[in-house]
Amino acid sequence: MPVVRVDLAERAYEVIVESGLLKNAGQAIANAGLAGKKAAIITDETVAHFHGETLLDSLQAAGFTPTFHKVPAGEASKSMATAESLCRELTQAGHDRKSFVIALGGGVVGDLAGFVAAIFYRGVPFVQIPTTIVAQVDSSIGGKTGVNIAEGKNLVGAFHQPALVLVDPETLRTLPAREFNEGFAEAIKHAAIRDAAMVEELAALDPASREVPADLIARNIAIKARVVEEDEHETKDVRALLNFGHTIGHGIEAAVPYGEMLHGEAISLGTRAALYLSEKHAGLSPNDSRKILDLLAKYDLPLILPPAITTEVVMEKLARDKKFSAGAIRFVLLDALGSAKVVKTIAADDLVEAIGHLRVPSV
């Protein structure tokens, strides 16, 4: 059973990865020091159908008193209005500062539930139980929580570290193919910036099997954990390395109605743009670029920007992104597989050129 520790002094926590773990989630949560507390499960309607009863049974068997709070599936639920509604629901259900929140679902649920936990009674503990690839290898780790507003993605939020993260790879079997595949954009990112050997391992997987080894998930988690430990609040340009592919990717994602393009799909396009700029400005070899592009294609992730998404709108959206510091662009480039760096030499014209590159076929 792989266990990854995120060492943040008094806010340290463990990430446990084990097939079938959801059935034993209650005992694992009790073992983490939350025994006897009232639990508010926040999930979406789709995940509740597949996994809600299993979690409820496990919590009740471990002596918890859980309440269930469902939101509609999809990015539109990641909003201030939904966060307020959930806070009211928790209050009406009798929760207070002695309660804790459980996020059961993908990245949207994790970000939303974590944000609710951060602001409810000025902060209560929460547990992440991620059920998608993107959440298991990336968004459930590191304490970034938040919601979207019309001006951009994740512009309202808080750093609030979980008390525990429970990862059950078996939950991935219930995902539709599109949602299963999109999460691999984040695993591919980890390989690109920190673990070149993982490229071959990801290439060897069969997406149709829905089987992802626990050890591979744990390796991704460990990459994220080490970066978070070094730069929790993204003040040293270390955590910013995790934004590889995300600057233009977030601009693309925000250029269409929320949820129309999945996060990993937008990041795939942003990754292709970042690879183009890495070749031009950081000396990345075309051969290394091709390995990453081939991986993205293997998981049916898009590499061509839809014609309806204009360069002007993408530029407008990414200019509001948090990765712009005092108007300067902090952009992550690769100089080789497994080696990334943050630069401030990429100009707006370079971004426009990279977005244009996304309109031509990837040969």
From the list 18, 75, 170, 186, the catalytic residue is 186
Is residue 144 annotated as part of the catalytic site, yes or no?
yes
Chain CA centroid to CA 255, Å: 19
Helix (H), strand (E), coil (C) string for 24-48: HHHHHHHHHHHCCCEEEEEEEHHHH
From the list 51, 189, 219, 263, the catalytic residue is 263
Is residue 51 annotated as part of the catalytic site, yes or no?
no
Residue from 183, 184, 196, 189 nearest 285 by CA: 196
Q: Which residues of 314-333 are buried (b: 16+ CB within 10 A; e: fewer)?
A: bbebbeebbbeeeeebbbbb
From the list 144, 190, 194, 330, the catalytic residue is 144
From the list 224, 291, 322, 330, the catalytic residue is 224
Is residue 38 annotated as part of the catalytic site, yes or no?
no
Is residue 49 annotated as part of the catalytic site, yes or no?
no
From the list 51, 160, 250, 322, the catalytic residue is 250
Residue 165 phi/psi, 5° resolution?
-125, 125
Q: Could you give the 3-state DSSP secondary structure of residue 151?
A: coil
**What is the rounded CA–CA span in Å between residue 104 and residue 73?**
12
Is residue 24 annotated as part of the catalytic site, yes or no?
no
Is residue 186 annotated as part of the catalytic site, yes or no?
yes
Q: What is the CA radius of gyration of the chain?
A: 20
Is residue 224 annotated as part of the catalytic site, yes or no?
yes
From the list 189, 246, 291, 317, the catalytic residue is 246
Instruction: Check if the beta carbon of residue 183 is closer than 8 Å to that of residue 135.
Output: yes
Instruction: Check if the beta carbon of residue 43 is closer than 8 Å to that of residue 69.
Output: yes
From the list 189, 239, 272, 291, the catalytic residue is 239
From the list 75, 220, 243, 330, the catalytic residue is 243
From the list 75, 89, 234, 253, the catalytic residue is 234
Is residue 88 annotated as part of the catalytic site, yes or no?
no
Is residue 281 annotated as part of the catalytic site, yes or no?
no
**What is the rounded CA–CA span in Å between residue 213 and residue 49?**
25
Is residue 312 annotated as part of the catalytic site, yes or no?
no
Active site residues: 122, 144, 186, 224, 234, 239, 243, 246, 250, 263
